[in-house]
Amino acid sequence: MKVLINLQWCKGCGVCVAFCRSGALSLDGDGKPEYAPALCVGCGLCELYCPDLAVECLGEDGPGESGEGA
């Protein structure tokens, strides 16, 4: 899983960080989210709850790759 954060859209509200159950997201000194890929469990909650649509979760092979069913 790869998490992309559009910092131009992000208001720094911290909702993505609050819902990140693995600690892969944290806020930097400017109040913007930072992503630690090694900690990400791929749950997608950060993307789901971002009110600004600034977070996008991508599968290992690109957009839409979830690894489930087919």
* pTM exceeds 0.75: yes
Tokens of 61: 């092979």
Nearest to 17 by CA among 54, 64, 66: 54
> Is residue 53 in some structural domain?
yes
> Is residue 12 in some structural domain?
yes
Query: Whole domain around residue 29: which residue ranges?
Result: 2-58
Write the CATH number for 51. Answer: 3.30.70.20
35-57 pLDDT tens trace? 999 999 999 999 999 999 999 99
> Is residue 16 in some structural domain?
yes
Helix (H, G, I), strand (E, B) or coil at 47: helix
Total domains, the chain: 1
Confidence of residue 59 (pLDDT cuts 50, 70, 90): confident
